[in-house]
Amino acid sequence: MTHFDKIISYPYTDQFAVVDITFIPHPYVLTGKHIEYISLWYSGHLCEATIESAELLGCKCGYPGCTLKIDQHLPALIVHCETKDVDAIKAYCDSISDKCNADGFAGMVAVTDF
């Protein structure tokens, strides 16, 4: 089951909905070195395993200053909030925290349109 398949199983209310995922501390950034290596050795098949293989040859995340490997960029849920009530936001996040951890997510990020 993919991360995106999992997010639809979270409860939503008139104030809260799990809408997407992001990565902590940031998404993994591919570089030209990754693409060159994966194109040459894996016919362009881009997946976590081929990225890990490229890392063994020195490819690194392209985010400025990042030295983390791909498996250290952890998925987190994005929770859309229709309220500014911090206690309500905390209560919702607490209510899905165990499921979030069981599904392999590192945590949650709350966002609003305010």
Residue 1 has a pLDDT of 76
CA distance 42 to 46: 8
Residue 58 has a pLDDT of 94
Residue 114 has a pLDDT of 63
Residue 111 has a pLDDT of 94
In this structure, the answer to whether residues 102 and 112 fall within a common structural domain is yes
Which residues constitute the domain of residue 51? 29-72
Task: Say how many domains are in the chain.
Answer: 2
Residue 18 has a pLDDT of 96
| Tens place of pLDDT per residue across the chain (114 aa) | 787 788 889 998 999 999 999 999 999 999 999 999 999 999 999 999 999 999 999 999 999 999 999 999 999 999 999 999 999 999 999 999 999 999 999 999 999 886
In this structure, the answer to whether residues 18 and 48 fall within a common structural domain is no
CATH number of the structural domain spanning residue 96 = 3.30.70
In this structure, the answer to whether residues 113 and 85 fall within a common structural domain is yes
In this structure, the answer to whether residues 15 and 38 fall within a common structural domain is no
Residue 38 has a pLDDT of 95
